[in-house]
Chains A and B, each alone.
Chain A
Amino acid sequence: MSQRFDIIGAGIAAPGLPDWQALEDALAGSGLCQERQPAPSSLLSPRERRRAPRAAKLSFAAAEQACAMAGMAPGEPVAVFSSAMGDLDITDYMCRTLADDPALLSPIRFHNSVHNAASGYWSIGAGATGDVTAISAWKDSATAGLIEALARLACTPDPVLLVVYDDLAQGPMRELWPTSQDFSGALLLARPGHGRAMASLTAEPSAEPADPGELPAVLIERIDDNPAAQLLPLLALVARPGAAVTMAAEQGPGLRISRIPA
């Protein structure tokens, strides 16, 4: 089985990779961008920005770029938020408070501790009343996110926003989740012919090991550092002409994604 789809918007937010231009520059061999930071979210009011957890700010930075690039209102597409660990900042707060004095637990931080906090704030900020979901597949979260997004695209004609993100661990969890750089990537998927495509692609299930294609060492390091950055090869395939990449999974099938020449 092979599925054709277009990418109509894309975004990235990570240290040294604050936006799409920075990714293009890195792919052209110019190294990482030290001048800019990811733009703050325009979806959250100053009050919501204070309340919103780190996972929301991290994921929004890439997701808003993807929607803007496609000229699509952020509340319009169905959205799939995929993350191995969710909000590690809040996990640290929750477990520390429960160990010290559970009566002091903050109700806001508790409701922000759900894995769908980022997607929930997205729905509120963007006014998205369609489906906005939150999934996880641990280190396979980039591949599983794409599988979930492709399955939605096969069933309904509307564009699907895929956001893959993971943060750094705090405190003792660092030993179990040693990621040193946060990462967030977003793709707006559409059926062929929906709008102006950045890239036309095909995806088919694969049992092969991951193949990131030709990438500069600074980007390969990110893939090794943060499983969410397993989306990088696909982002790179969208950013510049290339042949194909393979996104693998420890459990279950991976995907071979090929670019259809324009």
Chain B
Amino acid sequence: MRPLSVTAMTLTCAAGTGLAALRPALIEGRSGLRANDFPHCQLETWIGRVAGVEETELAGDLAEFDCRNNRLALLGLQQDDFIAQVEALKERVPASRIACVIGTSTAGIGVTEEAYREMGPQERFQPRHRLPRVHTPHTSAAFTARVLGLDGPVLTISTACSSSAKVFASAARLVAAGLADAAVVGGVDSLCLSVLYGFHSLELVSNQPCRPFDQARNGLSLGEAAGFAIVEPDAETGFGRLLGWGESSDAHHMASPHPEGAGAAAAMRQALDQAGLGSDRIGYINCHGTATPLNDRVEALAIRSVFSKPPPAASTKGWTGHTLGAAGIAEAVFSLLALSDEFLPAGLNLDQPEAEWADFILRQPLRRRVEAVLSNSFGFGGSNCSLIFGRLAA
């Protein structure tokens, strides 16, 4: 399989809108989390809410896609010259040969929630909520393909928190199978009551900013993000190259990880096998690291079962919150920045690390050139995905 290069990318999340804002936030350890101020939500928690989503308008024929998820998607697409880079891609590759593969878990459910809240005793949506293209998990892939004018295969991957990691694997297969010559991949998830109250009902939400791998961690902080990347074979410039991926299932429980992290370890091993790399060649791991007591312990256990000596690692969720269906792309972007900027972020809010089993989690960032990075994304339904990115040029 020809490895895909990431020739353009962008990310918008609570810690910054676009890479130019995110790079200093990573270096300075500036979190984007704030005390919950999400409308109609009374929970005492911290959230990674993106500024400027409400002001982003979907005009003209995009109005039929109007929802928070697609406003956030458009805000994200407008950063880092991403739309111009896609236009340049269309000069090299016909639009009919460019796939669009987007991960999401929330999609437009925020509008469905609002439509129920405002429907009145007739149980009929208000006219402004009668948007068939919004009330489907596919809304943001369809929207992204429309905005960018892409005519290749358009599909949504919705496997909860692994969704937008799996988009890279799906795109690589489409290219290898000859069904596309390049792809725009990405992920978009937005804050909504379903996830805020849903994770709360599972007692997985912290009342403080999340503290991945800290002894005092007591749950996750929810966030939102939109990230996108152009992937194409044979490119010599860009942020890095997709060397391998692993996709596995826990086959254990809908909402709890396998107790020994068997599925997570299988995904990491598959990714290493496909990349043809020994575990000692991975220089950094961007952990899933949600900061729930169980998830972090199981992930560390899984990493230790794959790596006899784990490399430096951290979770970036202290900056962003857990962006669910967008976590895969957000952390792929952070992993590619670690490769190309030669800066390895430490964990945020990590005061007392779990010394016994998480000693490899960075407490201070490192300026270090590494050859390959691993990014983990694990989700409900026991869906696991690990990605390995390598440097483009030696």
Contacts and interface: CB of A to CB of B under 8 A. Distances in A.
B141 A137 contact: yes
Contacts of A262: none
Given A99-B117, A105-B197, A106-B201, A148 B252 contact: no
B379 interface: yes
A95 B249 CA distance: 29
A25 interface: no
A116 to B, nearest CB: 4
A21 interface: no
Interface string A248-259: 010111000000
B380 A116 contact: yes
Interface stretch (A27-35, A84-92, A210-218, A232-240): A84-92
Interface residues of A, number: 64
B151 interface: yes
Contacts of A243: none
B251 A115 contact: no
B132 A150 contact: no
Contact of B138 (A84, A96, A99, A177): A84
Given A1-B179, A94-B194, A131-B247, A115 B132 contact: no
Nearest to A86: B137
Interface string A130-156: 111111111011001001101110110
Nearest to B120: A172
B197 A251 contact: no
Interface stretch (B75-83, B107-115, B219-227, B342-350): B107-115
B266 A129 contact: yes
A133 to B, nearest CB: 6
Given A105-B201, A110-B201, A135-B155, A129 B248 contact: yes
Nearest to B245: A131
Interface in A112-134: 112-117, 119-121, 123-124, 126-134
B196 to A, nearest CB: 8
B138 A138 contact: yes
A114 B247 contact: no
B158 A130 contact: no
B124 A172 contact: yes
A75 B157 CA distance: 21
Contact of B153 (A128, A134, A253): A253
B136 interface: yes
Given A114-B160, A152-B173, A138 B136 contact: yes
Interface in A64-112: 75, 84-86, 91, 94-96, 98-99, 102-103, 105-107, 110-112
A149 to B, nearest CB: 10
Contacts of B244: none
Interface string B231-275: 000000000000000011111111100000011001000000000
B248 A130 contact: yes
Contact of B159 (A84, A134, A140): A134
A116 B248 contact: no
Interface residues of B, number: 73
A85 B153 CA distance: 19
A119 B381 contact: yes
A84 B159 CA distance: 14
Contacts of A105: 197-198, 200-201
Nearest to A110: B198
A140 B154 contact: yes
Contact of B136 (A132, A136, A172, A251): A136
A113 B255 CA distance: 11
A137 B159 contact: no
B183 to A, nearest CB: 11
Most-contacted residue by chain B among A114, A127, A172 (CB, 10 A):
A114
B178 A119 contact: no
B136 to A, nearest CB: 5
Contacts of B155: 135-137, 144, 147-148
Nearest to A178: B132
B166 interface: yes
Contact of B116 (A96, A135, A140, A144): A96
B388 to A, nearest CB: 16
Given A116-B158, A120-B383, A129-B250, A99 B130 contact: no
10 contacts: A85-B137, A95-B115, A99-B116, A116-B380, A120-B382, A123-B251, A130-B249, A132-B381, A132-B383, A252-B151
Interface of B: 1, 41, 96, 99-100, 105, 109, 112-113, 115-117, 119, 123-125, 130-133, 135-139, 141-142, 145-146, 151-160, 166, 170, 173-174, 176-179, 193-194, 197-203, 247-255, 262-263, 266, 379-383
Given A96-B116, A110-B194, A154-B176, 10 more contacts: A1-B179, A111-B255, A115-B159, A116-B160, A120-B383, A129-B262, A133-B383, A144-B154, A147-B179, A152-B173
* Shortest beta-carbon contacts, A-B, top 10: A120-B381, A154-B177, A115-B158, A110-B198, A131-B247, A95-B116, A123-B249, A151-B173, A138-B138, A1-B178
